[in-house]
Amino acid sequence: MIRYCIVCSGQGSMGVDSLDFSKPFISTTNVIDLFSSEFGWDLFSVKNGELDLRLNKFSQPLTIATSIANWIVLKEYLPAPILFMGYSAGEVSALGCAQDSNLSQIAKLTHIRCKTMEDFSPSRSGLLAIKGINKIDLLELIGNKSIYIAIINAYDHFIVGGSEMELILLEDLMYSRGTWYKRLNVSVPSHTPLLKSATVQFLSEMNNQSYSNNDLHLPIVQGINGMPSNKFDIAIKSIGNAISQTIYWNQCMQFVIDSGVNVVLELGPGNSLSKLFTEFSPSISARSVSDFRTPEGVRNWLLSQSES
């Protein structure tokens, strides 16, 4: 028996080819149309290469719509997973997949999240990935800078967020130590206290929304604490709080492993999460939809894992 988990990617792997897997299928037209209508621009225009994917207003809806569209295609070919989880903006995607209904509600949620983050994000800011340093040493190097740990991927792998100027200073420190770092292709310091006002605004606006169904089709794992939820309103609070709180992705991955999962399928865009899983636990078999050309290819790989 395959006990597998679906993981939804964050914005860092967004590219012009993100919608390539789902585009040929009529079943995904509704998703793309809903998000395009909600945001006022055609998501398929990403293929023209004219969009600045560093901008949250483009990368966030594209990221979320990509995962949901891919799942709508794949769920007709695959057995049901036992869990959904999402990395950063991917937590919204996970909710859309687990809800299994009323995608217009998810498109609206995405728009509210996107707008509140843009409205309250400090200018000239972003995120920096750092690997090869422990948390104590990292915090010592950060010191009294306005830089915060946004995501914990592993004991020596972090995403930090802050102002452009202070991130440059931190990059210099990482360079002098010989520590690996990489600036992420985003312009908002997500999951840091710099967006506390965005959390307040998001939750306030979501309180005015009515939910068609509070029960989720399958549980999702909350990014802020690595715990499962099968209620829409609890998931909304987690997503809202995660805008300005640290994401404990390491705890999310540990919960998945403790749940008896042995296979992970990343919905895309990109394959960064499948790589994180195999680094975190070599016993996990993890692949991304972006590794395949067809749903049949994904199904054949997934079913082959029951024979391993």
Q: What is the pLDDT of residues 205-231, one digit of tens each?
A: 999 887 767 888 899 999 999 999 999
Q: How far apart are CA 182 and CA 129, in angstroms?
A: 5
Burial per residue of 102-131, b for 16 or more beta-carbon CB atoms within 10 angstroms, e otherwise: ebebbbbbbbbbbbbbeebbeeebbbbbbb
Statement: residue 103 has pLDDT above 80: yes
Residue type, 165: M
User: Is the distance from CB of 94 to CB of 85 less than 8 angstroms?
Assistant: yes
Q: How far apart are CA 240 and CA 95, in angstroms?
A: 13
Averaged pLDDT, 167-187: 94
Query: Which value, in Å, is the radius of gyration of the alpha carbons in the chain?
Result: 18
- What is the CB neighbour count within 10 angstroms for residue 234? 16
- Name the residue with tokens 């979501």: 206
pLDDT class of 189 with cuts at 50, 70, 90: very high
Pairing of strands 228-231, 215-221: antiparallel
Residue type, 250: N
Mean pLDDT of the chain: 92
Statement: residue 294 has pLDDT above 90: yes
pLDDT class of 100 with cuts at 50, 70, 90: low
Helix (H, G, I), strand (E, B) or coil at 26: helix
Helices (H), the chain: 29-39, 56-74, 90-99, 103-120, 135-142, 164-177, 196-207, 232-242, 249-258, 272-280, 295-304
Residue type, 147: I
Statement: residue 110 has pLDDT above 60: yes
Q: Which residue has the higher pLDDT, 135 or 209?
A: 135
Tell which phi-psi region holds residue 293, choosing left (phi > 0), alpha (psi between -120 and 50) or beta. Answer: alpha
Q: What is the pLDDT of residue 308?
A: 55
Q: How far apart are CA 22 and CA 231, in angstroms?
A: 28
Could you tell me the pTM of the whole model? 0.94
| Residue 130 DSSP class | E
Helices 249-258, 272-280: inter-axial angle, 10-degree rounding: 60
List of domains in the chain: 4-121+193-307 (3.40.366.10), 125-183 (3.30.70.250)
User: Is the distance from CB of 103 to CB of 31 less than 8 angstroms?
Assistant: yes
Q: Which residues contact 233 (CB under 8 A, 6 or more apart)?
A: 211, 214
Q: How far apart are CA 196 and CA 191, in angstroms?
A: 9
Helix (H, G, I), strand (E, B) or coil at 274: helix
User: Is the distance from CB of 193 to CB of 148 less than 8 angstroms?
Assistant: yes
Burial of residue 140 (CB within 10 Å: 0-12, 13-18, 19+) is: exposed
